[in-house]
Structure 1
C-alpha cells in the first residue's frame, strides 16, 4: 500500500522501488473548489457523472527510482 504525503498541490507517494510525485487539483479553483471533479447531472440518469475540472490533469506523474535495476549481460 503506497503512503501519501500531501505538500500543497503535490502528493508524494512511496510505491515499491520508486517515489512518485503527483500534482493535485488547484485548491482555490472556483469551479471545483479544490476537488478536481465536477458532478454533471443527466436527464435520464439518476446518479450524477463526474467530469475532470480544467485545473487538474491526473495523468502526469514524475517517477524517481530509489535504485536502478541491474541488467544481466549475455555471457558470450
Structure 2
C-alpha cells in the first residue's frame, strides 16, 4: 500500500517495525539454542530448521526496510537510512 499510494509516512512506519522482527529473531535464536543444548539428540534438526526460518524472516524484514527507504526517497527526494 505504501508503494502504490506513494505514502512516505506509511513506509517509514513499516520500516520501523523491523526492530521488532530483529528482537523476535534474537529471542527465537536464544530459546532454540537453549533447547538444543538440553537434548541435542532429539532437538538439533528441528532447532536448526527453526533458526533458519527465523533468520530468513528477519532478512525479509531487512529487505522490506530497504524498499521503504526507496519509497521515501521517491516521494521526498531525500535518502534516509532506517534501522
* TM-score, length-scaled by structure 2: 0.24
* RCO higher in structure (CA 8 A, sep ≥6): 2
User: Which structure shows the bigger proportion of residues in strand conformation?
Assistant: 1
Asked which structure has the greater CA Rg, the reply is 1
Return the structure number with greater helix share.
2
